[in-house]
Structure 1
Amino acid sequence: MAKYRLMVAPNGARRGRGDHPALPVTPQQTAETAAACFAAGAHALHLHVRDDEGRHSLDAGRYGEALAAVQERVPGMAVQITTESAGIYDVAAQLACLEALRPAAASVSVREMARDPGLAARAYAVCQEAGTQVQHILYGPSCIAQLRRWYRGGVIPETMRDAIFVLGKYSPPVLARPEGLAVFRDATADLCLNWAVCAFGRYEQACLLAAVAAGGDARIGFENNIETPEGGLLADNAASVAAFVQAARDAGHSLKECRS
């Protein structure tokens, strides 16, 4: 059966500890969560940081603090930063974040970059220069069409072939369903993408199992879902990771060997 890589997204841009008391907000909380998730089977961390009021931030200094905390606590875990705007940041701010950090890995929304094509080209060029592993966030067919145009036009380097398919929505809430994967796979069949899936809502596990069975990777965590498949609250991110790893094992799938 399939082998897969598993990333954990433990907080996201919108939820706080009022939504779940185990959702990490500070660098130390994030580092502790990362360590527990790594022990449970997650290969990598999708990192968001917050300002002093707990709001989503793209501040390079805050990222530096969180990256250092995670590196100290769990040095073997790969870390991907987000450039998500969350309705707060423009493309100039996203570019500034990438320029300041030059991270090892970053998720970049094609839809958000398309708000300023000139700056988008600079952002992808900065990532290419820095060796940043870019994962394109794809929300649907329009994002895939834009990605395709930018490959043809040379805006996005041909080598940047990592993508994540987003099933469902946070707001307005739309529960992800496994059958939603087919739209993405059909629309990207000729692009030779290294793809993963994240899924909003309590059917997250079923969606990710479908992704792994189809040859993709998975991203799990409280950014997308805080519920068990039955609708109860998950204990924490590590419990979510452990439950998925076990479900995947029961289905005959196994984790790839961890690479730092």
Structure 2
Amino acid sequence: MNTARSAARTLITVAPTGAETAKADVPALPTTPEELVETAIACEAAGAALIHIHVRDRAHEPTLDPVLLAEAVAGVREATDLVVQLSTGGSITDPLEQRLTVLDADPDSCSLTCGTTNFGDGVFLNPWGFMVDLYRQAREREVVPEFELFELGHVHALRRLIDECGLPYGGKVHVDFVTGVPGSMPGTPQALLAGVAMLPPEVTSWSATGIGRAHLPIVAAALAAGGHLRVGMEDNLVFAKGQPVTHNRELVARAAELATIMQRPPMTTTEARELLAVKDRRAR
């Protein structure tokens, strides 16, 4: 394996909310601006260095409202030193044109999913033209993309993006394998490692996400293979059998403990910014 893809420390990303779970079903899900900021503060203290944000409206429904997106970025940036990443996926029913407007909120980073994929009972659309537009606009705005890979075919699409568009802003290429989504790549170590073996040499770091029951096997496999971690209530609502997650900090703290046991303790936010080459947008 390319040594550039291994690391002595672990980037822990927290994805606290997502767009799929209803607040009425999971009251602990952070959906208000105040809950999001409180979650960000607690998760930074527990070992997270990056936060992946989906925004909800006042009725706790997923939204890409530009005012609410900007408020979320500003609130987390003011309260923490976390790298702030906005989802450009939104809800799978959001129009492509509206998903591009996420960059107007001036995040440090944005997600960029490298292709269309089955997503439970629906389809998560990411056609080639949209991917190219998002890639180029992110570079123009000096926003660092995180390339989300739900399928092994998405690794090939990443190769094509780099070939046709060049390197992203900052020159680093960070990817996240999203495994265990019904209809997409299974959440197994075998599938994850197959994807890692296919990564283009331009990739400088990678992380992995395990949905639901895939959470712990993927955490273990990623740590053992030199990758980084994404955890949070967007991806997993159960801490252990019969024990629901009551706060995102629980998942971050466990990931930090496992990373430390594996002799790859959590990165600081400063180290994460260096790893990803994000532009410093913090107020001085």
Correspondence 1:111 to 2:115: yes
Given candidates 133, 149, 157, the residue that maps to 1:146 is: 157
Task: State the distance in 1 between where 2:204 and 2:233 align.
Answer: 25
Give the alignment's TM-score, normalised by structure 2: 0.81
Task: State the distance in 1 between where 2:40 and 2:198 align.
Answer: 33
| Corresponding residue of 1:77 | 82
Confirm or deny: 8 A CA contact 1:41 1:241 kept in the other structure.
yes
Given candidates 177, 196, 214, the residue that maps to 1:165 is: 177
Q: Any residues of structure 2 matched to 1:6-155 within 5 Å, and which?
A: 6-74=12-80, 76-98=81-103, 100-112=104-116, 114-115=126-127, 117=129, 119-154=130-165
Shift of 1:90: 2.6
Deviations 1:193-227 (A, max 9, x none): 42111110134133113212211111110010011
User: After the TM superposition, which of the residue ranges 21-30 and 64-73 deviates more from structure 2?
Assistant: 64-73
SS in 1 for 2:137: helix
Deviations 1:137-191 (A, max 9, x none): 111122112221222222764935111101111x469972333311211221544
SS in 2 for 1:186: helix
Aligned length: 256
Q: Which runs of 5+ in 2 are unaligned?
A: 1-6, 117-124, 274-284
Given candidates 232, 240, 265, the residue that maps to 1:254 is: 265
Give the partner amino acid of 1:9.
Answer: A
Deviations 1:28-77 (A, max 9, x none): 11100111111111111111101233222222211111122222332x12
Q: Any residues of structure 2 matched to 1:206-217 within 5 Å, and which?
A: 206-217=217-228
User: After the TM superposition, which of the residue ranges 89-98 and 4-13 deviates more from structure 2?
Assistant: 89-98
Q: Percent identity?
A: 28
